[in-house]
Homo-oligomer: A and B are copies of this chain.
Amino acid sequence: MQLRIPGPTPLPDEVLDAMHRPMISHREGEFRAMLFDITEHLKRSFQTEGDVLVFPGVGTGGMEAAIANLFSPGDRVICASAGAFGDRFGEIASRFGLDIVYVRSRWGEAIDLQALEVSLEVMGKVAGVLLTHNETSTGVQHDIEAASRLVRGSGNPDALVVVDAISSMGAVDIPVDRWEIDVAITASQKAWMAPPGLTMLSVSERAWAATERATLPHYYWDFQVARRFARRGETPYTPAVGLLFGLQASLHMLAGEGLARVFARHTELRDRVRQLARRAGLVPLASDEIASRTVTALRVPEGMRARQVTELMRERGVIVAGGQGALEDAIIRIGHMGFVSPADIDVTMLALAQVTAELSMSDGRELVPSTAGAA
């Protein structure tokens, strides 16, 4: 099976093998050395001199952690959203009692920088701006660099720039310090080629100052306590030791390949997917200039449903994802992050070309029975 969903992503043998070993104590030297090593590698990928913390949990937990550590009830926060995960970030903030103003764009488009600029000027004090770097539901890579510059140049220069980079960090060039991102969030099962269950976050000096003022309740996700323990190579409570074995192995693979080459490979994979899609007559949801480097959403041709395409793809041994929300049956999504080669993309796109050709010849007749197990 080819797993071509936008996470969890395929695991290299090196990662699987690294996790196939006896458990160790998390209060011993071997663990401490591993946590230090992982943290150093992560800082290089995040391109930050600041702190990077690792928590047991998945990306949504990292988003909740950022909200709970940085803000207080009633804080006014802007959420720029153009997809399911942008909306999720705003929803988490709402659940925690923040005063959210959405700057929304249509799914498949870029976030609206002009509307963001206006909002920053007219809204009075803004405690933070929630952004999505790579919108996994639409395959759009948003211009976080420009968004961050707008914040710093606005009447709210100290607003926290909090970025969901869950499905792009590690695969895409996101210089956290240079772009003045206060918290960037990612998760192990995306570009990092490890199983799901770890979320990793960078924390800037501005963000640390915010944690001193913030009053939202948290214990599990406490940044300050995590940093205090991390400085001696430990965690406040039991870490996900086995997953850290895997993450360490994948970080060493990424370091061996070299960051620049990893970034270039993902750009190439994106271009290849789009080129082969168009050759098969399929139209990407996102335009070229905002196309994600890690996940591509393709409109299913007129008369087909996404579910038909994903079912027939599965029969050919390739697992791709359908759409989310209103796009559920209108697009398919192909993950190309982490442990993926051009050859993997070719297999995927060949299967897709065959499936859509088959469906278009069937002239609208139902090729895939809707009940499982039927002939």
Q: How many monomers of this chain does the complex have? A: 2
> Is A58 an interface position by the 8 A CB rule?
yes
Taking a contact as CB atoms under 8 Å apart, the answer to whether B237 and A60 are in contact is: yes
In angstroms, Cα B314 to Cα A59, docked, is: 36
Least CB distance, A208 to chain B, in whole angstroms = 19
> Is A217 an interface position by the 8 A CB rule?
yes
Asked, given contacts A95-B217, A197-B197, A240-B58, whether A25 binds B5 with beta carbons under 8 Å apart, the answer is yes
- Beyond contacts A25-B319, A56-B56, A97-B217: 20 other A-B pairs, Cβ-Cβ < 8 A, are A3-B23, A8-B23, A10-B22, A10-B23, A11-B242, A16-B19, A19-B242, A20-B20, A28-B314, A56-B57, A58-B237, A58-B240, A60-B219, A61-B220, A92-B219, A92-B220, A95-B219, A96-B217, A196-B240, A240-B243
Taking a contact as CB atoms under 8 Å apart, the answer to whether A237 and B8 are in contact is: no
Q: Which residue of the partner chain, among B19, B61, B96, contacts A57 with CB atoms under 8 Å?
A: B61
A187 contact set on B, CB distance < 8 A: 238
In angstroms, Cα B215 to Cα A217, docked, is: 12
Q: A301-342 toward B: CB 8 Å interface, digit per residue (1/0)?
A: 000000000000010000101000000000000000000000
- Residues on A facing B (Cβ under 8 Å): 1, 3, 5, 7-11, 16-17, 19-29, 56-61, 64, 68, 91-92, 95-97, 187, 189, 195-197, 216-220, 236-243, 246, 314, 319, 321, 372
Taking a contact as CB atoms under 8 Å apart, the answer to whether A58 and B59 are in contact is: no
A1 contact set on B, CB distance < 8 A: 22, 24
In angstroms, Cα B57 to Cα A187, docked, is: 13
- Dominant secondary structure at the A interface: loop
Least CB distance, A151 to chain B, in whole angstroms = 24
Taking a contact as CB atoms under 8 Å apart, the answer to whether B61 and A8 are in contact is: no
Q: Residue on B with the closest CB to A215?
A: B97
A-B contact pairs, 8 of them (CB 8 A): A1-B24, A8-B25, A19-B242, A28-B314, A56-B58, A58-B238, A59-B237, A195-B240
Q: Which residue of the partner chain, among B17, B91, B238, contacts A196 with CB atoms under 8 Å?
A: B238
A196 contact set on B, CB distance < 8 A: 56, 238-242
Least CB distance, A333 to chain B, in whole angstroms = 11
Least CB distance, A44 to chain B, in whole angstroms = 25
In angstroms, Cα B247 to Cα A242, docked, is: 13
Q: Residue on B with the closest CB to A73?
A: B217
Taking a contact as CB atoms under 8 Å apart, the answer to whether B64 and A321 are in contact is: no
Q: Residue on B with the closest CB to A320?
A: B25
A9 contact set on B, CB distance < 8 A: 23
In angstroms, Cα B145 to Cα A237, docked, is: 27
Q: Residue on B with the closest CB to A314?
A: B28
Q: Which residue of the partner chain, among B95, B197, B217, B220, contacts A240 with CB atoms under 8 Å?
A: B197
Least CB distance, A191 to chain B, in whole angstroms = 14
Taking a contact as CB atoms under 8 Å apart, the answer to whether B197 and A243 are in contact is: yes
Least CB distance, A372 to chain B, in whole angstroms = 7
In angstroms, Cα B97 to Cα A247, docked, is: 36
